């Protein structure tokens, strides 16, 4: 144990590995901060290169890339209201509202520090609990999954700003889109209108780019106030443009560490939620962010601020999405079952490198060195994120100073290229265009966009587990026949019913008195 | 490019393209200097699976031999329809290679696509993975005979999974049931999207059996969490000699899933020959990368390979198509593919919920409560024109990018938008000149996204 750890440390501090880590951090920050380029895509694009790297460098590159790109996703989220990665979608409104008040540096500072803190917590969970905790996730059958998806979706609808009904409507729109295509469980194509491309269904990445990115472009071009908006932002920004970088440490980090100390319990709670959700196969950083956002709002003393620029919301959700990353590696390493889409790729890379993930990986000394290397990289990557993330924030802040008449065509360009890149398909660009128009219309009716995206992401899996459960046993009671599924199911139902029943109960209690 | 969109391109534009093409001297796509730009491999299955691993492994070796970047794109979904369509309907210029799998010979029998193996120019078959049946280690079944006896006395009691309904592993199990003179629905099939989630379902006690290929279950099998009752191969597998075949258990039944490399039908003969020559060299083990040949790498990954080149692969495709067709059109299988939960049940439930929510919103009169941010900013005439320009820009890009290439199309769109939005001309030109080649370098050259190159070759 001791010796493998030291070997891993020796291997990792070699100049080559450190260079790989540094370059992947820069690459991760870059990809993450461009709207429409996801962490998954960044990792997928890295695969051909991992062939030329040794095992440890390859894995280190992926870990670093993941951690940095998930944080970097917060930069465009905060500055231009376009989530850089799906994991940032939960707190888009909060982060952007802060920018409108000129607090973008504070918001990004909170994102950075809480991301690092959450990431380190996730790494600790991975190190301490990997084999034990994976056993729990291994108990999950289609029944538990069904309730888990319902839970994730309910949270998205409930926490979204505006009325709960509109959140639910947005969710249904997303779920409806998810039914397009040939479902894995039926052999019938649905709503494809003869397009072969629609057999795959609506890809959520172009959908997200359209809903958040393109609709934002439309909002800006339709009103002539775009220039005024820029002016307003500019005037809200600190006036003096100081050339000394050191002085800028203050707006970014000033007050953030006390904030972290003040919110240590909620940080702990969010990080726990993050790593737990991360561990569950199929539920990644994005769902972790949504759920911890919902819990954070429930526990908050100022829930009315959520969605209108709450630093607490940004901090909690961003700790959760970063701690989920390490969590997802637990089932991947222990069981060979991916926790999220990135670890799905990782398993492929490991197998290509002739390392078979599984309990054996913790016994074979050569492979244990690699496992320790993964632990160490998670820590190094998160520490490296502090200076590099700061630089990214500083350069990203220039984004808001660019006039909108120049920024919008450029964002449009990235929307088109980004939606094309994920699959190299023109059809996805059409999807992005359609979703952009839809997103704009929904915003006019004040219908939140987040649940639409989550509906598209999880709808297929929700339907699958639903149909799978029914094909095992068509009685509704079977949805509650296992202890974990019963607990999850009752919790989900309570989540929707309690707010409906509460007013009635209150009336009943108050009338006799 | 989208076929429908292509048709709408007018003749006048076509003439313009022709002129551009002639001006350029046809330099970009001659057969002689193939390949002179990146090649894309379309893999119809998701990242991490056996087919993906094969594609990527092959891609790396091809990249070394051909000297151009080789990208793998996972065009997943639709039970393989999407990926096979994209791979085989691609422009037959040798720059898109298709990985084809057993589903190519199944989907058209199930009326899911018109595509058949006749749309492919087969190059070489790569993996041949025989189906195997797995149970959890604490299951009472020790061999196939015990399983068969139990199913005979308790029809409909056991549940199995491994892939979607009607997928290759479902077919394998149903075929065995049919062979054992049992009904195909005597074991309930729970549809799952792949071997990975199916095996997890098995390990967590959600199903009784899993039918998939042995390498797919390698991790759980070698860690002793699942037991393999038998493999549906003609001979025991070299990597797993301890696993008995069905034939050795007196059940004359074998079936396997396979994958291979193909080119779209209509690819020029010299290109087919060049690709075949290179691929044969790779599968013969004559190409080494990091001291390892392709067959060695595949063996270490636990994938059973079966290389059939050119005509042999064609003959195999034909006979495989007939075998699978016979199974899929048989009564036993046709009866089974009808499901209780229809495909429109779930969308129906969603639609119903939507109506209820809309009704509630109408009652609350909240539908027209506009977002404050939107109402805050008035829509102007110039704004409407600008938005129409943005829309036109995207559509223009979509229609012409494939012909004109990314740099020209994106450059035109970006320049015009910047200019129309009120930026000074020289600033527009500067930004366009800086950004468009910049994005191209970044995405196409560094990130290896197959951005359209068009007639000019960039």
- Touching check for B363 and chain A: CB below 8 Å? no
Nearest CA in chain B to A163: B366
Partners of B258 in beta bridges: B128
Interface contact A405-B159, CB threshold 8 A? no
For the record, the structure tokens of B199 come out as 């095996």
B 406-445 → A contacts, CB under 8 A: 410, 413-414, 417-418, 421-423, 427, 431, 435-436, 439, 443
Amino acid A162: pLDDT: 64
Under DSSP, is residue B394 helix (H, G, I), strand (E, B) or coil?
Answer: helix
Query: For A280-330, how does the pLDDT look when each residue is reduced to its tens digit (9 = 90+)?
Result: 766 678 888 888 888 888 888 888 888 787 888 888 999 999 999 988 888
Exposure string for B287-303, b = 16+ CB within 10 A, e = fewer: bebeeebbeebbbebbb
pTM summary value: 0.76
Amino acid A363: pLDDT: 67
List chain A residues with CB under 8 Å of B436.
413
Q: How far is CA A333 from CA A330, A498, B204, in A?
A: 5, 39, 17
Q: Which helix (H) or strand (E) holds A263?
A: none
Q: How far is CA A227 from CA A77, A221, A233, A234, B315, in A?
A: 20, 10, 10, 10, 67
List chain B residues with CB under 8 Å of A354.
300-301
Amino acid B6: pLDDT: 39
For the record, the structure tokens of A127 come out as 């190190």
Structural contact between residues B256 and B131, judged by C-beta atoms closer than 8 angstroms: yes
Comparing CA positions, the residue from A81, A91, A114, A155 lying closest to residue A306 is: A91
Tokens 């036109």 identify what position?
B392
Amino acid A173: pLDDT: 94
Q: How far is CA B121 from the centre of its chain?
A: 18
Q: What is the mean pLDDT of chain A?
A: 80
Interface contact B350-A175, CB threshold 8 A? yes
List chain A residues with CB under 8 Å of B91.
none
Tokens 């759920």 identify what position?
A291
- pLDDT tier, A510 (very low <50, low <70, confident <90, very high otherwise): low
Query: For A140-165, how does the pLDDT look when each residue is reduced to its tens digit (9 = 90+)?
Result: 788 888 887 888 788 777 766 667 78
Amino acid A337: pLDDT: 64
Amino acid B391: pLDDT: 93
Between residues B373 and A475, the one the model is more confident about: A475
List chain A residues with CB under 8 Å of B57.
352
Q: How far is CA B133 from the centre of its chain?
A: 25
- pLDDT tier, A271 (very low <50, low <70, confident <90, very high otherwise): very high
Interface contact A190-B422, CB threshold 8 A? no
Distance (Å) from the alpha carbon of B433 to chain A's nearest alpha carbon: 13
List chain B residues with CB under 8 Å of A338.
48, 196
B 36-55 → A contacts, CB under 8 A: 40, 46-49, 52-53
Under DSSP, is residue A466 helix (H, G, I), strand (E, B) or coil?
Answer: helix
A 359-378 → B contacts, CB under 8 A: 359-360
Is the per-residue pLDDT at A134 higher than 70?
Answer: no
Nearest CA in chain A to B446: A45
Partners of B71 in beta bridges: B40
pLDDT below 70 — which residues of chain B?
Answer: 1-30, 47-48, 332-341, 365-378, 457-458
- Touching check for A478 and chain B: CB below 8 Å? no
CA atoms of A508 and A503, how far apart (whole Å): 9
Distance (Å) from the alpha carbon of A415 to chain B's nearest alpha carbon: 10
CA atoms of A283 and A431, how far apart (whole Å): 24
CA atoms of B394 and B402, how far apart (whole Å): 13
Query: For A5-59, how does the pLDDT look when each residue is reduced to its tens digit (9 = 90+)?
Result: 788 888 888 888 899 999 999 988 888 887 766 777 677 777 767 777 888 888 8
Q: Which of B201, B351, B379 has the CB atom closest to A222's CB atom?
A: B379
- Touching check for A402 and chain B: CB below 8 Å? no
Interface contact A357-B219, CB threshold 8 A? yes
Tokens 């409507």 identify what position?
A169
List chain A residues with CB under 8 Å of B377.
219, 222-223, 225
- Touching check for A338 and chain B: CB below 8 Å? yes
CA atoms of B216 and B227, how far apart (whole Å): 13
List chain A residues with CB under 8 Å of B393.
412
Amino acid B351: pLDDT: 93
Amino acid B373: pLDDT: 47
- Spatial neighbors of B364 by CB under 8 A, at least 6 apart, are A165
Q: How far is CA A399 from the centre of its chain?
A: 22
B 217-236 → A contacts, CB under 8 A: 218-220, 222-223
Question: pLDDT above 70 covers what percent of chain A?
Answer: 83
Lowest mean pLDDT among A99-113, A244-258, A400-414, B410-424: A244-258
B 385-404 → A contacts, CB under 8 A: 386-387, 389-391, 393-395, 397-398, 401-402
């Amino acid at each position: 144990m001791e010796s493998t750890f030291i070997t891993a440390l020796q291997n990792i501090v070699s100049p080559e590995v450190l260079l790989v880590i540094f370059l992947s951090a820069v690459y991760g920050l870059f990809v993450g901060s461009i709207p429409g380029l996801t962490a998954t895509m960044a990792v997928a694009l890295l695969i051909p290169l991992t062939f030329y790297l040794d095992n440890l460098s390859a894995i280190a590159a992926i870990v670093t890339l993941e951690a940095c790109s998930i944080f970097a996703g917060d930069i465009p989220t905060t500055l231009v209201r376009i989530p850089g990665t799906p994991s940032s979608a939960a707190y888009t409104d909060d982060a952007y509202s802060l920018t409108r008040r000129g607090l973008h540096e504070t918001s990004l500072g909170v994102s950075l520090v809480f991301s690092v803190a959450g990431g380190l917590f996730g790494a600790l969970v991975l190190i301490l609990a990997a084999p034990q905790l994976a056993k729990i996730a291994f108990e999950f059958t289609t029944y538990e999954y069904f309730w888990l998806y319902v839970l994730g979706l309910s949270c998205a609808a409930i926490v979204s700003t505006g009325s709960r009904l509109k959140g639910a409507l947005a969710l249904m729109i997303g779920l409806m889109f998810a039914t397009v295509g040939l479902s894995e469980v039926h052999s019938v194509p649905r709503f494809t209108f003869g397009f072969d491309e629609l057999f795959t269904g609506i890809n959520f990445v172009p959908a997200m780019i359209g809903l958040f990115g393109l609709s934002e472009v439309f909002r800006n071009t339709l009103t002539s106030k775009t220039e005024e908006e820029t002016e307003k932002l500019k005037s809200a920004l600190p006036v003096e443009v100081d050339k000394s970088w050191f002085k800028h440490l203050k707006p970014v980090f000033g007050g953030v560490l006390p904030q972290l100390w003040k919110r240590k319990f909620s940080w702990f709670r969010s990080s726990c939620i993050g790593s737990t959700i991360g561990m569950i196969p199929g539920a990644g950083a994005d769902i972790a962010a949504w759920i911890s956002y919902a819990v954070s709002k429930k526990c908050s003393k100022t829930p009315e601020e959520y969605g209108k620029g709450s630093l607490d919301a940004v901090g909690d959700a961003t700790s959760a999405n970063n701690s989920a990353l390490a969590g997802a590696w637990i089932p991947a390493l222990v069981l060979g079952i991916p926790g999220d889409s990135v670890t799905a790729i990782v398993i492929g890379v490991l197998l290509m490198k002739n390392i078979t993930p599984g309990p054996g990986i913790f016994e074979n000394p050569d492979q244990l060195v690699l496992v320790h290397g993964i632990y160490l990289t998670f820590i190094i990557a998160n520490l490296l994120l502090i200076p590099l993330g700061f630089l990214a924030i500083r350069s990203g802040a220039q984004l808001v100073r660019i006039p909108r008449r120049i920024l919008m065509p450029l964002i449009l360009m990235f929307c088109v290229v980004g939606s094309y890149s994920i699959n190299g398909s023109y059809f996805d660009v059409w999807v992005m265009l359609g979703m952009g128009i839809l997103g704009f219309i929904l915003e006019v009716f004040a219908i939140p966009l987040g649940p639409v995206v989550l509906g598209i992401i999880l709808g297929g899996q929700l339907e699958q587990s639903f149909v799978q459960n029914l094909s095992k046993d068509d009685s509704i009671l079977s949805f509650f026949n296992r202890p974990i599924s019963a607990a999850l199911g009752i919790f989900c139902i309570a989540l929707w019913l309690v707010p409906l029943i509460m007013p009635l109960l209150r009336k009943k209690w108050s009338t006799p008195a | 490019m989208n076929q429908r969109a292509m048709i709408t391109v007018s003749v006048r534009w076509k003439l313009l393209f022709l002129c551009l093409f002639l001006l350029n001297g046809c330099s970009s796509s001659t057969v002689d200097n193939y390949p002179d730009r990146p090649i894309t491999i379309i893999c119809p299955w998701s990242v991490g699976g056996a087919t993906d691993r094969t594609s990527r492994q092959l891609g790396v070796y091809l990249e070394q031999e051909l000297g151009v970047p080789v990208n793998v794109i996972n065009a997943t979904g639709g039970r393989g329809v999407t990926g096979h369509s994209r791979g085989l309907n691609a422009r037959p210029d040798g720059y898109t290679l298709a990985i084809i799998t057993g589903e190519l010979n199944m989907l058209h029998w199930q009326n899911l696509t018109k595509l058949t193996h006749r749309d492919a120019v087969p190059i070489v078959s790569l993996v041949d993975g025989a189906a195997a049946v797995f149970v959890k280690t604490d299951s009472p079944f020790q061999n196939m005979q015990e399983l068969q006896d139990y199913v005979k006395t308790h029809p409909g009691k056991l549940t199995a999974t491994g892939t979607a309904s009607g997928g290759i592993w479902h077919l394998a199990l149903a075929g065995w049931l049919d062979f054992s003179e049992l009904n195909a629905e005597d074991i309930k099939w729970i549809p799952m999207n792949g071997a990975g989630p199916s095996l997890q379902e098995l390990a967590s006690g959600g199903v009784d059996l899993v039918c998939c290929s042995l390498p797919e279950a390698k991790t759980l099998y070698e860690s002793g969490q699942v037991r393999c009752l038998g493999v549906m191969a003609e001979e025991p597998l070299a990597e797993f000699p301890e696993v008995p075949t069905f034939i050795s258990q007196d059940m004359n039944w074998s079936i396997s899933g396979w994958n291979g490399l193909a080119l779209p039908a209509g690819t020029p003969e010299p290109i087919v020959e060049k690709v075949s020559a290179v691929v044969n060299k790779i599968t013969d083990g004559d190409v080494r990368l990091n001291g390892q040949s392709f067959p060695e790498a595949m063996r270490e990954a636990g994938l059973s390979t079966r290389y059939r080149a050119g005509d042999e692969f064609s003959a195999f495709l034909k006979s495989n198509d007939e075998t699978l067709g016979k199974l899929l059109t048989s009564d036993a299988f046709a009866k089974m593919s009808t499901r209780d939960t229809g495909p429109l049940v779930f969308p129906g439930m969603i639609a119903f919920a939507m109506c209820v929510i809309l009704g509630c919103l109408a009652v609350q009169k909240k539908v027209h409560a506009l977002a404050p941010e939107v109402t805050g900013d008035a829509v102007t005439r110039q704004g409407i024109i600008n938005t129409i320009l943005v829309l036109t820009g995207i559509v223009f890009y979509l229609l012409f990018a494939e012909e004109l290439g990314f740099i020209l199309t994106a450059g035109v769109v970006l320049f015009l938008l910047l200019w129309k939005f009120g930026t000074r001309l020289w600033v527009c030109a500067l930004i366009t000149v800086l950004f468009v080649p910049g994005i191209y370098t970044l995405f196409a050259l560094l990130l290896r996204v197959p951005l359209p190159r068009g007639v000019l070759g960039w």
